[in-house]
Homo-oligomer: A and B are copies of this chain.
Amino acid sequence: MLQDKNPSKTDISKLGEFGLIETLTKDFKIKNPRTVKGVGDDAAVLNFKDKETLASTDLLVEGVHFDLAYFPLKHLGYKAAVVNFSDIYAMNGTATQLLVALALSNRFPLEAVEEIYEGIKLACRLYEVDLVGGDTTSSRSGLILSPTVLGEVDKNKVAYRSGAKPNDLIVVTGDLGAAYTGLLVLQRENETFKANPQHQPDLSPYAYVVERQLKPEARKDIPPLLKELDVQPTAMIDISDGLSSEMLHITKQSGVGAHIYAEKIPIDPQTILTADEFHISELTAALNGGEDYELLMTISQKDYEKIKHRREFAVIGHITEDKGAYLITQDNQKVKLKAQGWNALKS
């Protein structure tokens, strides 16, 4: 419903693999001083000098992670890049290079792939990341995007998941649950559109939550802000599967427990209204919804003063010595957190 249904069509196989790669990557400029050689050889050549190198990969599969009925291709390219960058920021690092492997069935014309690359290009430009490699091939069905991101970090700044200590504060950036309620809206509108193709959806009341789903942003700003504030997180992770699941990763890998206070979890008013409309609790969206790409971290209590006036951060709880991670509700019930997060293997 959000796409031009009659785009011009150029058969990709006519270009050949190398022609395609040239077409797609010709506008990508290398900007990062860490990139010695980008696309066009057997491998990219990079130089991280005295920094540690970070590497991560996250797949996006059609029909599992996105539905092209409501996901514009350009947004998809953007999101595929951004969710990968997010993993680098979660290590307290800077994303520097991206490789994109892409498999697509021949129902996609060249213009479709160019749309995807437009989104990747935009993300690379805004996040100051060089596209340095990739592979494009056909698939028997569907579209699969497999980006790999590289980044850098000072050795003494790496934030693992395993460093949380008892009494550390639990901090999140931004607000949670919006991306999931945005997905609910898009799925509903898509069903309505299928039933009545004349239907013109009015998404304006849902602008924020829909944008959080279709065009998420990663927290590039947080690692430099932490540096500026002189705060080294004891542990950090990005929120891709929902707060519960990510909190459990930290407590498990750090060998600690956690108390999170329900009323402290930052949730946008539009998320609350939208969750209401779908008869779900906004807390469920925040805890189990995922795809917010905010950062969850633990910091030492001594650093509280440094962050307390910064609107980027919300303190939502603290780490406990007793293992087990709990949500403390407003009426003081203790509810065990479960990783009910979105599970890509179930579909």
Picked from B57, B144, B158, the residue with its CB within 8 Å of the CB of A133 is B57
Q: Does A329 contact B (CB under 8 A)?
A: no
Q: Does A169 contact B (CB under 8 A)?
A: no
Do A45 and B153 form a contact, CB below 8 Å, given A20-B345, A56-B133, A137-B59?
Answer: yes
Chain B CB within 10 Å, residue with most, of A47, A63, A138 = A138
The CA of A134 and the CA of B132, in the complex, are separated in Å by 19
Contacts of A144 in B (CB 8 A): 103, 139, 144, 146
210-255 of chain A: CB within 8 A of chain B:
236-238, 249, 253
Q: Does A111 contact B (CB under 8 A)?
A: no
The CA of A227 and the CA of B16, in the complex, are separated in Å by 36
Picked from B16, B55, B100, B253, the residue with its CB within 8 Å of the CB of A132 is B55
Q: Does A276 contact B (CB under 8 A)?
A: no
* Inter-subunit contact A55/B133 (CB<8 Å): yes
The smallest beta-carbon distance between A49 and chain B, in angstroms, is 8
The CA of A345 and the CA of B101, in the complex, are separated in Å by 13
Contacts of A137 in B (CB 8 A): 59, 61, 64-65, 344-345
The CA of A42 and the CA of B91, in the complex, are separated in Å by 7
Q: Does A200 contact B (CB under 8 A)?
A: no
The CA of A106 and the CA of B48, in the complex, are separated in Å by 40
Contacts of A53 in B (CB 8 A): 45-48, 53, 150
Q: Does A5 contact B (CB under 8 A)?
A: no
The smallest beta-carbon distance between A134 and chain B, in angstroms, is 6
* Inter-subunit contact A17/B141 (CB<8 Å): no
Picked from B43, B59, B106, B140, the residue with its CB within 8 Å of the CB of A56 is B43
* Inter-subunit contact A101/B59 (CB<8 Å): yes
Q: Does A282 contact B (CB under 8 A)?
A: no
The smallest beta-carbon distance between A306 and chain B, in angstroms, is 23
Q: A13-B343, A18-B249 are in contact. List 9 more A-B contacts (CB 8 A).
A: A12-B345, A43-B54, A47-B53, A48-B53, A53-B53, A57-B148, A63-B140, A64-B139, A64-B140
